[in-house]
Structure 1
């Protein structure tokens, strides 16, 4: 089969087109013919950092975690899927698991679900990693109807899904962004848009929570911005972050009694622990998509498999608006 492989790690390392052996489906797996795959920040980190990350695959490597496609073969013991089914998932591209930058992927059946009927393959491929991350974060924070929620980075990959899911739950949602385009995206998803560069924290706390602070803050920016999340939170609130790779003074969190939740959705893939939870989240997410509650945002630029290097560069440029997708 055709695949785009990495033979070295680094910023300038190219993807090379190669013919590699078509995977043999194992027990508990389905073989999926890939139709589309999306690029996530973790994919670019693996490519650029490589061996310094404990989750990077051995070279030559086939990256790509998210995918949408058609079941080609069903392995022994698999139920609920049949040849010809349209599916989506996040099931490879790290450690020992082959990725989706290829014509086929052998996917653990516990990590996939039937594709939302309302989405194209391209749209469905944009959803798994960010959708699962947003779902897990809101669940960990115990977000409920009537609560106030702040999403930091509400127009980003995880952020725009978190906004929609929190709205579906019935929370009163605000989200930060920069520039007219991001603020417009946030407003179109039904949240209060907060101009991160222009508005002071104390002002939007007053405007959107009556000065009490937010019951939950979902931070997709991380680093020093976590301090802003602490400042925006109510007493005994929940902070969710997807980016905690930093040293930080937790004093402000202590004096507010905050609960900090770090979401790293790759753990089931890396450690083969509770993988079925991801499959169930994707199945539930598909229902929300098909009833119009959630819709992924895609960047306007389209890429083919041979253009995957350009797709990675597009995401890293900071110019993409929505998820960057590669069609196979």
Structure 2
């Protein structure tokens, strides 16, 4: 392995605001120090999520890490150093994961939008052999969120589900996991007109164009409604009596909803590895991806439009 530098390139912010105003390239950030339960990763690809720009905007400033900080949760890369307590990985292993266990509470000062980042081994998994680094980096936060929501709702074989925002980062995985891992009897999902075919290809039995149809007015009701976009009151109109509504968009305004913020866990990625390696569950990359590291600000601006399909990734990191 090449020698690990003492300083690295990263995108950082020192104040809160719109990403285009506060995100700055820093060519001389100290390389993160390694704790005993962590590995140091040479970042190959990072992906970004709405939580990244919400963090920059100061939505979670009371519990954010000290500034300046480099954002980024999702990483795929190569282990270059291991802490003394690490057993799962060795130098040279290809890994991926969401590096922040508690998404909103003291996330890493050096996130994945840097040449190197450190993460606890329990947050990471070995990269599936059949996936590129770009594909792997697109997965962790969104696929773990999709999985955790289905688990919390008690979703199981034979149940029906409606996914609000089916073409987004989390929604694309809820459709696939519900259908191909949990054994849903019926999967319905909403998107705009141009993305309906994607929903069907991912496993949706019913693709609903929200620009022409109100899902809450459908005569059919569902065992679970998974709301990834923040339409909680309408979601409750689409759920069966005794059914569950999952919501991942704060603030959650209805206490009957199952609201949660992801707790990152590498064992979920381990569990889903057979489905990823068999191709039953696939990464979904936005057609504009990947953005080069030098265009990270442009990638954030695009993500903030809310029109992204699947995930936005940053590659190569250099």
Q: What's the TM-score once normalised by structure 1's chain length?
A: 0.86
How far 1:320 moved relative to its partner? 2.6
Alpha-carbon RMSD across the aligned residues, in angstroms, is 1.8
Runs of 5+ unmatched residues, structure 1? 207-212, 251-258, 269-277
Q: Are 1:307 and 2:286 matched, yes or no?
A: no
What is aligned with 1:156?
168
Q: Are 1:188 and 2:226 matched, yes or no?
A: no
How far 1:202 moved relative to its partner? 5.8
Q: Is 2:11–2:23's contact at 8 Å kept on the other side of the alignment?
A: no
Q: Is 1:5–1:18's contact at 8 Å kept on the other side of the alignment?
A: no
Q: Is 1:141–1:239's contact at 8 Å kept on the other side of the alignment?
A: yes
How far 1:96 moved relative to its partner? 5.0
**Which deviates further from its counterpart, 32-41 or 312-321?**
312-321
3-state SS, counterpart of residue 58 of structure 2: helix
How far 1:296 moved relative to its partner? 1.4
Deviations 1:247-305 (CA, angstroms, capped at 9, x unpaired): 45x6xxxxxxxx52112004x6xxxxxxxxx1110111222110111111111222122
Distance of 1:114 and 1:68 partners within structure 2: 10
Matching of residues 1-328 of structure 1 within 5 Å = 1-11=8-18, 12-49=21-58, 53-92=61-100, 95=106, 97=108, 98-168=110-180, 169-171=182-184, 172-179=186-193, 181-191=194-204, 192-201=206-215, 204-206=218-220, 213-222=221-230, 225-248=231-254, 260-266=257-263, 278-301=265-288, 302-327=290-315, 328=317
Deviations 1:123-157 (CA, angstroms, capped at 9, x unpaired): 11110000110000001111111111111111111
What is aligned with 2:3?
none
3-state SS, counterpart of residue 142 of structure 2: helix
How far 1:45 moved relative to its partner? 0.5
How far 1:321 moved relative to its partner? 2.2
Q: Is 2:232–2:253's contact at 8 Å kept on the other side of the alignment?
A: no
Q: What's the TM-score once normalised by structure 2's chain length?
A: 0.89
